[in-house]
Amino acid sequence: MKIIAVGMNYVAHCHELHEGEKLPEEPVIFLKPDSALLKDGKPFFIPDFSRQVDYETELVVRISRLGKNIAERFAHRYYDAVTVGIDFTARDLQRRFRAEGKPWELSKGFDSSAAIGTFVPVERFKDIQQLSFRLDIDGQTVQSGSTADMIFRVDEIIAYVSRFYTLKIGDLLYTGTPVGVGPVSIGQHLEGYLENEKLLDFYVR
């Protein structure tokens, strides 16, 4: 199982973190190892190597078929469930690595950096590109978005990624975060919602 993630997939978020940069012309892809997965409501422990770990709330899609070089018009056949996840980012490390022109996987792929909620069947929803999702911290909404605002749609991303990586059953696709990312701190209670259904619930330690 691999975790495929998309960066800079919402216009407002691009301006939020990368003001002055051009919007991407193709999906920005990075990977997280399977050791990054944080599931079953287990707590997230802030790592000692970072002074600022940010939440990035995202729609996550679960791949259900083996596929390579998938045509966009058939991409919807290759996933069966969705949920809410958080792409935790060691922001201080990412800024330093970017400034130095170095790869920044360490800031994204560290242990437990990919929180994942309970999956629900995609067939429950009429249109995957019309889903709202949000993150509440200690009962207050801190980030919300809609898949309608994606720069690259889910099916576009799957078609693009499958040119480079063979998609396998159980692979996870984190589809990008909207505007409103921010740091987490010890003791906070994080709850993620998809269409007002809570699918993600854990604490920061």
What number of H helices and E strands is found in the chain? 3, 15
CA distance 190 to 171: 24
Which pLDDT does position 176 carry in this prediction?
97
- Statement: the pTM of the whole predicted model exceeds 0.85: yes
**Burial readout 22-56 (b: 16 or more C-beta within 10 A, e: otherwise):** eeeeebeebebeeebbbeeeeebebeeebebbbbb
CA distance 12 to 105: 23
Name the nearest CA neighbour of 83 among 203, 197, 178, 194. 194
- Splitting the chain (205 residues) into consecutive groups of 10 residues, what average pLDDT does each group show? 96 78 93 98 98 98 98 98 98 96 96 98 97 98 98 98 98 97 98 98 98
CA distance 199 to 178: 18
Which pLDDT does position 13 carry in this prediction?
82
71, 159 in Cβ contact below 8 A?
yes
Backbone angles phi, psi at 184, to 5 degrees: -105, 160
Which pLDDT does position 20 carry in this prediction?
73
